[in-house]
Amino acid sequence: MADITPVLERADANLPESLERLFDLLRMKSISTDPAYKTECRKAAEWLARELQALGFDAAVRDTPGHPMVVGHHPGERPDAPHLLFYGHYDVQPVDPLELWEAPPFEPGFQEVEPGRKVITGRGTSDDKGQLMTFVEALRAYKETKGALPCRITILFEGEEESGSPSLKPFLEANADELKADYALICDTGMWDRETPAISAGLRGLVGEEIIVRAADRDLHSGLYGGAAANPIHILADILAGLHDETGRVTLEGFYEGVEETPAEVKATWENLESAAEKLLGEVGLSVPSGERGRSVLELTWARPTAEVNGIVGGYTGDGFKTVIAAQASAKVSFRLVGSQDPVKIRESFRAHVRAGIPADCSVEFHPHGASPAIHLAYDSALLNTAKAALSQEWPKPAVVIGMGGSIPIVGDFQSMLGMESLLVGFALADDRIHSPNEKYELASFHKGIRSWIRILDALAA
Amino acid sequence: MADITPVLERADANLPESLERLFDLLRMKSISTDPAYKTECRKAAEWLARELQALGFDAAVRDTPGHPMVVGHHPGERPDAPHLLFYGHYDVQPVDPLELWEAPPFEPGFQEVEPGRKVITGRGTSDDKGQLMTFVEALRAYKETKGALPCRITILFEGEEESGSPSLKPFLEANADELKADYALICDTGMWDRETPAISAGLRGLVGEEIIVRAADRDLHSGLYGGAAANPIHILADILAGLHDETGRVTLEGFYEGVEETPAEVKATWENLESAAEKLLGEVGLSVPSGERGRSVLELTWARPTAEVNGIVGGYTGDGFKTVIAAQASAKVSFRLVGSQDPVKIRESFRAHVRAGIPADCSVEFHPHGASPAIHLAYDSALLNTAKAALSQEWPKPAVVIGMGGSIPIVGDFQSMLGMESLLVGFALADDRIHSPNEKYELASFHKGIRSWIRILDALAA
């Protein structure tokens, strides 16, 4: 392993200009969900392509039916080093409600939240422009110091992550040969806390399903019909209440098939983090872990499957009161999956549970909303252990391997379509307010994030 | 009892002019909920006062903070006959959506729906102008034939029934001595069917309560928090599902205190009507009676208490899907009461049930929406039996005593504020489309309604 001290020093020296470049990117209103910002999305893509070209990448804006991709290639210094694919996204979430922002969302700035601790403010700082730029700036420091990159790098920037990535799969399929590398690096996740870097290993899968229960063919007056006419809200409440037993376990038949216990040694590292996890609940005003009894908050959110009702509506919901028996009521229900739980079987089992609760004269309609299996990155791979050691050199506390409650579909796509293992490293914090007003990114996340990638690249190339 | 044949014949002879008068009243756009029709409401009140004066009533338009009342007094022929208070309302529902009307709502007309069966069409024909005019025209036929009324009559016409009667209680309070009579007659209800007149005896009470369950202090991402953070929709579903047991009985502690079984002989008359009741469910696309097992549709809606969820909302309810764990979820719940169920106790029992389902780190907020006890008019009072016999003389089939699923607040007010028992007789039909476009009133309801009141008045005065 070459001495990387000069590269790290160069990154430190570059910081003011790195921030200027980041701010240029942050000023572009690349909101992918709103067609009004189509031009701004392309502007961001073009800006990124130029940045990569300036670093010696063979980079281009690549059209899709939606917002464009940016793809760039750069050879590496060491021929036997692995070929790495880096993924980030340049699109951002909408900014409404605008009035809740303390500063305009697309005018990035700094804020000193406590002595010695600065944050970068603005839409996209944490999700994901600030994060993807840590990698770009790491490459720059490398290139400027060594005149080369330590290994062959392919970069893929997407512009539709916040709108469900409709063009991603077709693009991966059409360009599989070009994009296939030895490993994928994804920078769209978080640290454990400000001092502890994290590598995300388990990603829960997701099955979404909307159900609409219908009873009478019109809304009824509860005075005239109450007590004799089926009430779809009652039917729905019964069905939803029946999803869990008293111990918090999901009752669906076959639900726990493919769910494995987390290894004891992994659970042990999580126990060290547990008080912080309780703090996590505390930060949102809660204190009692819900869900399956006898399991820690971290295990519940990282390694256990769930059934959650995400939305429900039926009958009169305006001001005041209306004694109506609704004609229909609906709910959106999702399941987080772990291990090798089969999304198709879970959906079928849920539908069977729902159908069993529908009276003979009522009906139910199902609308599927996505199905993806859980993805588990091995807790003990060489890739993971190398990155863990590298991160632990940079930050005050050693890196931890954590689960992730949510899914990042691209990890599954990289695995299934390109046969690549992914490494998920990111420097966001839980309080970064991504998707919300006043999004921020710690200046330390940006600065030490750049340094972290230098260390990881160097270690992986060795 | 005097021979009333001449009075009935006079009513028959008067019919064309009775209809002309009704049409005059129907042309007035007395929509009480819309301030734009304030003048039209007063016009209707003034018209009614003049009509009563023409019949020899000491009648006047009486101002309230809202639309005026009309009050009139007339002495009776027989000094020992009871003093009767008649109530009806001259205001009508709004008419939108106007484009669904086959004829302009305030241009009354006739329609022959089948050979020999005519209906009167227009807003207010059934609710309640057509109904209140049956009583006025009955008085006219009496007066014109006998030169007097059979008993002392006080009339109260209200102009705010369709907007919640805000001025009614204060008016009753301020004029209690003037309005107090031996019995109240209310003409704002319906027949069982076109051949069977009905007297409404039981009116269910109502307790309304809105609950808001709060968990985390913000909406959470179900990927990050799912499985560990309390989900208020689950909590709410459990609470609501727990309101009924498997037999459809309400589980609240003390809920059935004060609920009495309907006398077997009354149930027997209802059994004869039951196939029609099943037709009632069939008309709204249902077939299986919900609620308490082993009880008929009529018993369930007329004589049994209920717990109904009238509205529920929580989390994401828009198009598509959002994997959110909501910060709060709410429901509007109402209870129909019978017998001597205590609204205050029912509310408290419900609140206790809800509180018992709220986890330690969550909270609940309650918003009361009205509380009125059930009103039961004895199944075997002299008033009721007299009216029943009189009605049975007029119509093809004998009169039935029915329950009413809903509440008519004025009946309670007459009872509690003026100590009066009410008799609820009306000639509306279930398909009169009250509150909807193309409201109608059967010509037979109007004509035989007038004749019915003549018979009832005569019988009560005897």
- B284:A220 CB<8 A: yes
Pairing verdict, β B84-89 and B153-158: parallel
Q: How far apart are CA A126 and CA A120, in angstroms?
A: 9
Q: What are the residue ranges spanned by the domains of chain A?
A: 5-203+374-461, 205-260+292-372
Which of B 390-429 lie inside 8 A of A, CB atoms?
404-407
Chain A residue nearest residue B232, CA to CA: A309
- A231:B309 CB<8 A: yes
Q: Which of A223, A291, A313 sits opposite B406 (nearest CB)?
A: A223
- B361:A285 CB<8 A: yes
pLDDT recorded at residue B323: 87
Q: Which of B204, B227, B285 sits opposite A216 (nearest CB)?
A: B285
- A323:B290 CB<8 A: no
| B222 inside 8 A of chain A by CB | yes
- Measure in Å the smallest separation between the Cα of B395 and chain A Cα atoms: 24
**pLDDT tens column, A326-370:** 999 999 999 999 989 999 999 999 999 999 999 999 999 999 998
State which CATH number among 3.30.70.360, 2.60.210.10, 3.30.1600.10, 3.20.20.120 fits the domain covering B205-259+305-372: 3.30.70.360
First CA to last CA distance, chain A? 5
Chain A residue nearest residue B320, CA to CA: A369
Cβ-in-10-Å burial (0-12, 13-18, 19+) of A293 comes to exposed
**pLDDT tens column, B43-65:** 999 999 999 999 999 999 999 99
Q: Which of A208, A288, A331 sits opposite B230 (nearest CB)?
A: A288
Give the pLDDT mean for B213-224: 91
| ipTM value > 0.90 | no
How many residues can be counted in chain B?
A: 462
Q: Which of B156, B165, B167 is CA-nearest to residue B88?
A: B156
Which of A 311-350 lie inside 8 A of B, CB atoms?
311-317, 320-326, 329-332, 334, 336
Q: Which of A228, A289, A406 sits opposite B223 (nearest CB)?
A: A406
- Res B277 pLDDT > 80: no
Q: B5-203+375-461 has which CATH code?
A: 3.40.630.10
Give the class (CATH, top level) of A205-260+292-372: alpha beta
Give the orientation angle of helix B5-26 with respect to helix B443-461, to 10 degrees.
Answer: 130
Per-residue pLDDT band for B2 (boundaries 50, 70, 90) equals low
- CA-based R_g, chain B, Å: 25
* H or E element that contains B186: strand B183-186
Per-residue pLDDT band for B300 (boundaries 50, 70, 90) equals very high
Interface test with A, best of B321, B375, B429 (most A CBs within 10 A): B321
| B237 inside 8 A of chain A by CB | yes
Cα dihedral B348, B352, B354, B359 sign = positive
pLDDT recorded at residue A2: 61
Give the pLDDT mean for B433-440: 91
- A284:B216 CB<8 A: yes
> Up-side HSE of residue A368: CA atoms within 13 Å toward CB?
13
Largest pairwise CA distance in chain A: 83
Q: How far apart are CA B189 and CA B198, in angstroms?
A: 9
- Res B1 pLDDT > 60: no
Q: How crowded is residue B163: how many other Cβ atoms within 10 Å of its Cβ?
A: 16
Q: Which of B218, B244, B308 sits opposite A325 (nearest CB)?
A: B308
Give the pLDDT mean for B438-445: 97
Q: Which of A287, A291, A315 sits opposite B311 (nearest CB)?
A: A315
Interface test with B, best of A309, A319, A404 (most B CBs within 10 A): A309
Q: What's at B190, amino acid-wise?
A: G
Q: How crowded is residue A145: how many other Cβ atoms within 10 Å of its Cβ?
A: 18
Which of B 191-210 lie inside 8 A of A, CB atoms?
204, 206, 208, 210
Cβ-in-10-Å burial (0-12, 13-18, 19+) of B357 comes to middle
Would you state the structure tokens that stand for residue B81, as one six-digit string?
């006959």
Residues in chain B with CB shorter than 8 Å from the CB of A286 are 215-216, 229-230, 361-362
- Residue A351's DSSP bridge partners are none
Would you state the structure tokens that stand for residue A251, as one six-digit string?
């009752």
- Measure in Å the smallest separation between the Cα of B293 and chain A Cα atoms: 10
- A311:B287 CB<8 A: no
Quickly list H helices, B147-229: 168-174, 176-179, 222-225
Domain A5-203+374-461 has CATH 3.40.50.20: no
pLDDT recorded at residue B403: 86
- Res B221 pLDDT > 60: yes
Contact B218, A284 (CB under 8 A): yes
- Res B328 pLDDT > 90: yes
- Measure in Å the smallest separation between the Cα of B424 and chain A Cα atoms: 16
Contact B235, B361 (CB under 8 A): no
**pLDDT tens column, B91-114:** 999 998 899 999 999 999 999 999
- A300:B334 CB<8 A: no
Residues in chain B with CB shorter than 8 Å from the CB of A200 are none
Q: How far apart are CA A214 and CA A235, in angstroms?
A: 9
Residues of chain A with pLDDT under 70: 1-2
Which of B 346-375 lie inside 8 A of A, CB atoms?
359-362, 369-370
Which letter does DSSP use for residue A165 in this model?
Answer: -
Which of B 34-73 lie inside 8 A of A, CB atoms?
none
Residues in chain A with CB shorter than 8 Å from the CB of B336 are 222-223, 226-227
| B306 inside 8 A of chain A by CB | yes
Pairing verdict, β A198-203 and B117-121: unpaired
Q: Which of B84, B83, B51, B64 is CA-nearest to residue B161?
A: B64
Residues in chain B with CB shorter than 8 Å from the CB of A277 are 228
Fold: same for B5-203+375-461 and B205-259+305-372: no
Contact A289, A274 (CB under 8 A): no
Residues in chain B with CB shorter than 8 Å from the CB of A405 are 221-227
- Lowest mean pLDDT of A242-256, A315-329, B23-37, B338-352, name the range: A315-329
